[in-house]
Structure 1
């Protein structure tokens, strides 16, 4: 039986505490770092303004990369991995949707 604990991650200069099973902690931290990197790339381009829009563009880019890798025959992505990515994206969406300090247009 796994126990959940709060994991603190930093994404685009904000701190988020997310409940996560202990055995998934490293994966969550890794995913947060990856997302943070993608969001910083988008923000630094200067073409997208606002954390919500940057998050959506990052999610689209990550999803595009994932789907492109699925089409490549030498890379087999399991359905569990796809589900894990969807779960992480849902968590990010939830955190952004519930943080009123990040509302920018």
Structure 2
């Protein structure tokens, strides 16, 4: 159905990138991505003790931009023409969640 991931962990500065992917379009918009994202955020902060989480999201992925915004992530910037996708370079928006514990 999909996956959640945490990667690029920086143990010294206690930050990492998180991601979600629901593979089949018919499985999207049913709350699975939100459930996975909520789980990985809780696990990363409570279990691993990370203080900053980032989500790098392609410019055309409106659903993910909206989802991470609802989960408290703030858009911090744009990496222009960062990823090659289907023969075209696309911008990537960087969103971050800071843990205030």
| TM-score, structure 2 normalization | 0.32
Greater Rg over alpha carbons, structure: 1
Give the number of the structure whose residues are more often helix, by fraction.
1
| TM-score, structure 1 normalization | 0.31
Give the number of the structure whose residues are more often strand, by fraction.
2
